[in-house]
C-alpha cells in the first residue's frame, strides 16, 4: 500500500513538474500559461498527448522530437523528476500527522517546493527571480507558519522574525554592492526561506548556500578551465538563487541548524 501511495504522490508531482516547465518557458513572454498546446521549439509541431507524458515521453522518444528529431532539452525531465521528488519529500515531512492540518502542511510545503523548482529553473535560464515567484513563495511559507500555529497553539515569533532578518541580510549586500554581489531577488527569496525554516535553520541554510556556491565555482574553475573557455568565465554571472534553494533543502531534509554547523566546525 505504501508503494502505491508513494508512486501516486510521485506521479502527481511529476505532472505538476510538467506544468512548471510551461510556466518557466512561457512566463513574461506574452504567451498564455494556461492556454495553447505545447509545440516543438524547432519545427513548431503541436505535440500530441502521448508526447507530453511526464518523464516517459522523453525516454521513449530518445530525448528527441518525434517530428523533426531535434534534441529536447534535459530541462523537461529534470523538472518533472524534481516535481515528483518534491511531492514525496513534502508527503514524508508532513504525513502522517494531525488530520486536516497535516494535509494542509503537505499541500503548502509541496507548493513551496514547486515554486522553488520554478525559481531555480527560471533563475538559471534568465539570471533573475520574478517577483511573482518569490512573493508567492513568501505567502506560502507564511501560510505554512500559520498552519503550524494552529496545530500547536503557539506562534513562533522567532520564526516570524526570521524572514525579515534574512531579507535584511541579503538586502544589505545588494544595497552596498549596488547589485553586483547579490540581486534583490535573492533577498526576496530569503524572506520565504526564513519563514519556512526559522532563524537557526535559516542561517544554516545561508551558510550552506555560500559553501555549495563556492564549491561549484571552484569545481567549474578546475574542471572546465573557465578562464580560457567561452561562455562561462570568471566574469560570467552565476545566479545565486539555486544555491540558496540547495541550502534550504539541505537544512530542511537533514534538519541542519546553526548549532549543528557549529558542532561540526568544532570537531
Kindly list the domain boundaries of the chain, sorted by start residue.
1-94, 128-267
Q: Quote the CA–CA distance of 168 and 30 in Å, as a whole number.
A: 33
pLDDT in tens, 211-241: 999 998 888 777 766 556 555 544 466 899 9
Low-confidence ranges of the chain (pLDDT < 70): 1, 95-99, 224-237, 267
C-alpha cell at 217: 565555482
Matching residue, cell 549543528: 260
pLDDT attached to residue 229: 55
Query: H/E element holding 112?
Result: helix 99-126
Direct distance between the N- and C-terminal alpha carbons of the chain, in angstroms, rounded to an integer = 43
Neighbours of 256 (CB within 10 A): 20
Residue 239: closest CA among 191, 183, 165:
183
C-alpha cell at 64: 528527441
pLDDT in tens, 67-98: 788 898 999 999 999 999 999 999 988 865 55
Long-range Cβ pairs for the range 135-142 (8 Å, 24+):
135/188, 137/112, 137/189, 137/192, 138/163, 138/188, 138/191, 138/192, 138/195, 140/108, 140/111, 140/112, 140/115, 140/192, 141/112, 141/191, 141/192, 141/193, 141/194, 141/195, 141/196, 142/195
Please tell me what DSSP assigns to residue 44. -
Residue 150: closest CA among 104, 91, 90:
104
CB 111 within 8 A of CB 237: no
Name beta bridge partners: 187.
none
Tally of CA atoms within 13 A in the half-sphere of 78 that contains its CB: 9
Quote the percentage of the chain above a pLDDT of 90: 64
pLDDT attached to residue 234: 47
Residue 18: closest CA among 66, 56, 65, 52:
52
Query: H/E element holding 225?
Result: none
Amino acid at each position: 500500500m505504501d508503494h502505491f501511495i508513494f508512486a501516486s504522490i510521485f506521479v502527481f508531482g511529476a505532472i505538476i513538474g510538467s506544468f512548471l516547465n510551461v510556466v518557466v518557458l512561457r512566463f513574461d513572454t506574452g504567451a498564455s500559461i494556461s492556454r495553447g498546446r505545447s509545440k516543438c521549439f524547432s519545427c513548431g509541431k503541436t505535440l500530441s498527448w502521448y508526447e507530453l507524458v511526464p518523464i516517459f515521453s522523453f525516454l521513449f522518444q530518445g530525448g528527441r522530437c518525434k517530428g523533426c528529431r531535434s534534441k529536447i532539452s534535459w530541462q523537461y525531465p529534470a523538472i518533472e523528476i524534481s516535481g515528483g521528488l518534491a511531492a514525496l519529500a513534502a508527503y514524508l515531512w508532513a504525513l502522517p500527522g494531525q488530520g486536516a492540518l497535516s494535509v494542509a502542511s503537505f499541500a503548502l510545503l509541496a507548493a513551496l517546493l514547486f515554486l522553488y523548482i520554478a525559481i531555480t529553473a527560471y533563475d538559471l535560464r534568465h539570471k533573475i527571480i520574478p517577483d511573482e515567484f518569490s512573493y508567492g513563495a513568501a505567502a506560502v511559507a507564511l501560510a505554512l507558519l500559520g498552519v503550524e500555529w494552529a496545530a500547536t497553539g503557539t506562534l513562533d515569533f522567532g520564526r516570524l522574525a526570521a524572514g525579515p532578518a534574512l531579507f535584511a541580510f541579503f538586502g544589505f549586500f545588494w544595497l552596498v554592492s549596488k547589485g553586483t554581489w547579490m540581486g534583490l531577488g535573492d533577498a526576496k527569496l530569503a524572506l520565504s526561506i526564513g519563514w519556512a525554516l526559522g532563524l537557526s535553520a535559516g542561517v544554516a541554510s545561508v551558510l550552506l548556500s555560500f559553501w555549495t556556491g563556492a564549491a561549484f565555482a571552484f569545481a567549474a574553475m578546475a574542471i572546465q578551465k573557465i578562464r580560457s573557455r567561452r561562455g562561462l568565465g570568471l566574469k560570467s554571472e552565476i545566479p545565486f538563487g539555486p544555491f540558496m534553494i540547495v541550502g534550504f533543502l539541505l537544512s530542511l531534509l537533514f534538519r541542519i541548524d546553526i548549532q549543528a554547523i557549529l558542532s561540526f566546525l568544532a570537531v
